[in-house]
A = this chain, B = another copy of it.
Amino acid sequence: MRKAYKAHILFTREKDHFDVVENGCIAVENGCVVGIASSPEALGCAASDVIDFGDRLLIPAMNDVHVHAPQYRNLGIAMDLELLPWLANYTFPEEARYADLAYAERMYRRFVYDLWRNGTMRCAAFATVHLEATRLLMDLFHEAGMGALVGKVNMDRDCPEALRETLVEAEEACAALVQAYGNDPLVRPIMTPRFIPSCTPALLHLCGELAQLHGLPVQSHLSENTGEIELVRSLEPDSRNYADAYNRYGLFGQTPTIMAHCVWSAGEEMELMRQNDILVAHCPTSNFNLSSGMAPIRAFLDAGIRVGLGSDISGGHTLSIFRTMVYAIQASKMHYQRDRNRSFLTLSEAFWLATKSGGSVFGRVGSFEPGYEFDALVIDDSDLNHDDYPLLQRLERFIYLGDDRHIVHRFCRGREITL
């Protein structure tokens, strides 16, 4: 049945500007956008099929293309630690707890709720090495009606014994998740070798084969910090760079691939990212918190490389992709401060990264163009709009100043999600 939603509609068909329809109507059928017009009649909707949100803003929902679900408990703690003690003392011990399904359910329910609360309707999530807990996380997304690419983490090197898997376990777990969720419209498995230092060559090779065998997308980490890059160079001496190492294992665009961070990617590595149509998961909050550096997003965009935004909790300290947009702009301004020839990200560009660009890994997601799945948020900014700001400033103020209190309705694939 066709429905129409009426509100002030703002989205980014292209990165360079917002499409703004004041008091517009958006028609939705079978979960997808049919069109936008100034009246429901023009969209073939009866007045009785219109849901009127009044003076509120209607925008695409957020997409988080890099998030570690089992690090939810560690959100906002241990920020005074550096990467290695943080991994050893907080991240790995916490992930080991997900062998306990009761614990996993308690935390994963909170995690899914908090994504929802922050307006994120789709995410690409790392789970842990545990099949059952990963399956549980997929069930929770399915139950909520939210979209997710969920990765059972693969690792068998340089990690605690409790988090190490065998090749047989990796293969069987992959098959089990494909069987359970291979054909779900919203929740799907994604191959997730943690990163090169955590995986033996045999496991990386297997991951590449499984991704191609099952037609699964891939996610991992790339060039996050300088020490890691040195380590990969020593582990993979025959590769031209970090990206090339993944590429040689069939894990770099042979199927749709998300690479998180890419803080230090340049030159040949960037060229390979472009050629293989990699989606960069830009995680500026994490890159600040872990002293990683500031990824050169303007250079990626200029080179035609795809980019989305990731919260990367608990390296990042917030699940809000709105707040992540602000950080993305700020990081680009620090590049700009040093090199005035490289312009900083504008608000429309940051918004586009979080919606249409990042959403592309989930299908036709992140825009209100016809045929796009209707993932949307209704924003009640009445307390921020205390002096008749124009619509674009209202959106900007919500992004810079607002929070979950302003998000009053959330839709995923045409269905209102209430948790």
Q: Which residues of A contact B (CB under 8 A)?
A: 73, 75-80, 107, 110, 288-294, 317-318, 326, 329-330, 333-334, 336-337, 344, 346-347, 384, 386-387, 389, 393, 396-397, 399-401, 403
Contact = CB atoms under 8 A, between A and B. Distances in A.
Contacts of A77: 389, 393, 396-397, 400
Contacts of A317: 326, 400-401
A39 to B, nearest CB: 30
A287 B144 CA distance: 40
Contacts of A290: 333
A334 B334 contact: yes
| In the complex, the 7 A-B pairs of residues with the closest C-beta atoms, listed nearest first | A76-B400, A288-B330, A76-B397, A291-B333, A317-B400, A76-B401, A77-B393
A153 to B, nearest CB: 22
Contact of A329 (B79, B110, B334): B79
A80 B75 CA distance: 30
Contact of A80 (B110, B318, B346, B397): B346
Given A77-B389, A77-B396, A289-B333, 15 more contacts: A73-B387, A76-B384, A76-B397, A76-B400, A77-B393, A79-B396, A79-B400, A80-B346, A110-B386, A288-B330, A288-B333, A289-B330, A290-B333, A291-B336, A334-B334
Contacts of A337: 291-293
A334 B110 CA distance: 32
A70 to B, nearest CB: 13
A330 B285 CA distance: 9
Nearest to A114: B401
A381 B73 CA distance: 15
9 contacts: A73-B387, A76-B396, A76-B399, A78-B393, A291-B336, A317-B326, A317-B400, A317-B401, A318-B400
A86 to B, nearest CB: 13
Given A288-B334, A333-B288, A80 B400 contact: no
Nearest to A293: B337
A344 B337 CA distance: 21
Contact of A334 (B73, B291, B336, B400): B291
Contacts of A294: 334
A75 B397 contact: yes
Nearest to A346: B80
A287 to B, nearest CB: 9
A10 B180 CA distance: 49
Contacts of A344: 291
Contacts of A75: 397, 400-401
Contact of A79 (B347, B386, B389): B347
Nearest to A73: B387
Max count, chain B CB within 10 A of own CB: residue among A75, A318, A399, A400: A400
Contacts of A318: 400-401
Contacts of A289: 330, 333
A107 B317 CA distance: 32
A337 B225 CA distance: 9
A403 to B, nearest CB: 6
Contacts of A393: 77-78
In this complex, the member of A76, A78, A288 whose beta carbon has the largest number of chain B beta carbons within 10 angstroms is A76
Nearest to A345: B80
